A and B are shown apart, each in its own frame.
Chain A
Amino acid sequence: MSSSLTARRSPGSRVSSPAARGSRSSVTRNNLSGWGFATPFLVFFLVFLVWPVVYGIYMSLTGKSLTGANDSVIGFANYAEAFADADMWRSLGNTLYFTVISTVPLVLVALVMAALLNVGLPAQWLWRLSYFAPYLLASTVVSLFFTWMYNPQLGLINDALSKIGIPKVAWLNDPNVAMWAIVIATLWWTVGFNFLLYLAAMQNIPAQHYEAASLDGAGAWRQLFSITLPQLGPTTVMIVLLQVLASLKIFDQVYQMTAGGPGGATRPVVQYIFETGFTGYRLGYSAAISYIFFGLIVFVSVMQFVITRRRSA
């Protein structure tokens, strides 16, 4: 009657479908209803994702600007200019630097949080609430909180440091410290997400593993190191992958807290794209930098895909 009732066919076996469901009319009907169900999504997908991706490539080959000055195709001149643009390289470097120094604590602290709770602490909801709540905040709220706490004269953090004899730090105004200040704010903001993913993974470890260990007299900490952590390999790979991809897109909190400063020390590549396009009005050039950034994302994804496949193979 309907192919949906039978086991799913292997790819490519469409042609040789058995007579029971292979009548021409049912194939047509399936094609119609399949594409019918897909159409609403496809319309949005084509207009607001596929088209901009394709059109962006075209834009990157033109001198298009918001002032409408030069719409002509100029080939790869934008890319040539970008590869020789020290500011582009610096912003790309800032993005990569942030990605490296943020991913490590964002994964490790999440793991520690989840492991602590998994030991079986009382009042689980309280811990989950306090660790995860910041994730529900908009970047602007986080930036307001931390800009206030980082305030060199009136800020809570410098006040606490001075009480233990550490001199005042110009958190967001010192080029050597600003990126770390942003990492700390980001850690506070988003670690709860990774924490939940770890917690879910830990809850999925079969209880029998723990029961057996308990009978052998292993305590909670022992079980953590001999059972929980070794089982988390695949989850950790996934979390690292997601975190790297998320960190590479850094923009909001930098733009809001330092505006890329001091002196461009924290400006990430997304902000450079934004400024080239909307402050400098150079849409074509900005599109070219977008695609260089896109290339980086694709490169990282493919690398991680290859590494995870090799590991699981």
Chain B
Amino acid sequence: MATQTLNRATLGTSTSPAVRQPRRKMSAGKIAAVVVAAVIAVLWLVPFAWATVTAFKSETDAASPKISWIPPSGFTADAFVKVFQDGNIPLWTWNSLYTSASITAVTLVISALVAYALSRIDFKGKKVLMTVIIASIIVPPPVLIIPLFYQMLALHMIDTSWAIILPQVIHPAMVFVLKKFFDQIPRELEEAAVMDGASRMRIFLQVVLPLSRPILAAVAIFVFIGAWNNFLWPFIATNDASLLTLPVGLQTIKSAYGIQYAQNMASALLAALPLIVVFLFFQRQIIKGVATTGLAGT
């Protein structure tokens, strides 16, 4: 059962439902695999667990050199209360949410439009455009920080949300992913609409886009996670405390709280929570999305 589930969960290229391996008995090999997988899983969960335990300690217990998984003076939510009173985490979460959502929306719209043209319309200069877009995948974002910062200064966008959002909407690799998907949609499906005299835009909106939901979701997930977690550019683009995104805001707490270990961990967990919760609900779509878009490059 498990193997089948995974098949559907990944690329949707589920082969025959035939049984891959004998299922009933756990062979010695399989038991060994479970043990190794479990050891790795425990190692991978320890940082979460330790952060959680620390966050629910009093600062005194957290800073005690005697390591304890169960704190001597009991668990407490003080750290979370203090972090919330401080008020920064909700603000940073909101900033991250609306910038990431804007980036994702704009990226989807402009990328799908150009990808459709590259896939379906024979226009002059198309090959050149395609080559330039593919070539631009190679440009590493860190190379752009200096000229982009200077440009944003000139445009008076530094310390605005625009500075965070606008430069992040260009994803040449995602254009390529979308184009490849559009290429696979049978052209016959568009024929009827053409016969009715529908415009390009109507065909795109009413025929092509509805058929492309899975790939649009995959691209959206990939872009959103990237934007949500991006550090370098938002860090440079704004110093305004009211505009900080979660990753950038968190960077400031170390100095603000000094050695408040429980509060540091509470903040980190609160920052991690939104995407982890989303992942728990949409695990299948996210895994599929990452697997589909991942190889196209980051």
Chain A contact residues, CB within 8 Å of chain B? 1-5, 8-9, 11, 14, 30-38, 40-42, 44-45, 47-53, 55-56, 59, 64, 109, 112-113, 116-117, 119-134, 136-141, 144-146, 148-149, 153-154, 156, 159, 188, 193, 196-197, 199-200, 203-204, 206-208, 210-211, 214, 219-221, 223, 238, 242, 245-246, 248-249, 251-252, 256, 270, 273-274, 277-278, 283, 286-287, 290-291, 293-294, 297-298, 301
Contacts and interface: CB of A to CB of B under 8 A. Distances in A.
Contacts of A59: 146-147, 150
Contacts of A214: 20-22
Interface in B24-77: 27, 29-30, 33-34, 36-37, 40-41, 44-48, 50-51, 54, 62-65, 67
Contacts of A119: 21, 29-30, 33
Interface of B is mostly: helix
B6 A42 contact: no
B114 A242 contact: no
| A119, A146, A287, most chain B CB atoms within 10 A | A119
B180 interface: no
Given A34-B121, A120-B2, A251 B142 contact: yes
A11 B283 CA distance: 41
How many chain B residues sit at the interface, stated as a range, is 35 or more
B119 to A, nearest CB: 9
B121 A33 contact: yes
A261 to B, nearest CB: 15
A253 B147 CA distance: 23
B120 interface: yes
Contacts, number: 332
A287 B236 CA distance: 15
A286 B187 CA distance: 50
Interface in B161-204: 166-167, 169-170, 172, 175, 187, 190-191, 194-195, 200, 204
Contacts of A144: 51, 250, 254, 264-265, 267-268
B114 A42 contact: yes
Given A131-B44, A144-B250, A221-B29, A238 B114 contact: no
B29 A56 contact: no
B123 interface: yes
Interface of B: 2-3, 5-7, 9-11, 13, 15-16, 18, 20-23, 27, 29-30, 33-34, 36-37, 40-41, 44-48, 50-51, 54, 62-65, 67, 106, 109-111, 113-114, 116-118, 120-127, 129, 133, 136, 138-151, 166-167, 169-170, 172, 175, 187, 190-191, 194-195, 200, 204, 225, 228-229, 231-232, 236, 246-248, 250-251, 254, 261, 264-265, 267-268, 271-272, 275-276, 279-280, 283, 287, 290-291, 294-295, 297-298
Interface centre among B29, B125, B191 (most CB of A within 10 A): B29
B281 to A, nearest CB: 12
B298 A242 contact: yes
Nearest to A21: B122
Majority secondary structure of chain A interface residues (helix, strand, loop or mixed): helix
A146 to B, nearest CB: 7
A297 to B, nearest CB: 5
| A9, A123, A200, A208: most-surrounded residue (chain B CB, <10 A) | A200
B124 A14 contact: yes
A34 B126 contact: yes
In the complex, the 5 A-B pairs of residues with the closest C-beta atoms, listed nearest first: A34-B123, A37-B117, A56-B147, A200-B291, A138-B247
B295 A204 contact: no
Given A120-B30, A193-B290, 15 more contacts: A3-B121, A9-B122, A14-B122, A40-B110, A116-B33, A120-B3, A124-B5, A132-B279, A137-B275, A140-B251, A140-B271, A144-B250, A203-B11, A252-B231, A293-B142
25 contacts: A30-B123, A33-B117, A34-B123, A42-B114, A55-B150, A112-B36, A116-B33, A116-B40, A119-B33, A120-B23, A130-B41, A130-B44, A136-B229, A136-B279, A137-B275, A140-B271, A141-B268, A148-B265, A188-B44, A200-B291, A208-B15, A221-B29, A238-B295, A274-B236, A291-B143
B170 A37 contact: no
Contacts of B22: 214
Nearest to A119: B33
B37 A45 contact: no
Contact of B295 (A117, A242, A252): A242
A294 B139 contact: yes
A37 B6 contact: no
B142 A270 contact: yes
A197 B246 CA distance: 27
A120 B114 contact: no
B290 A196 contact: yes
A5 B30 CA distance: 52
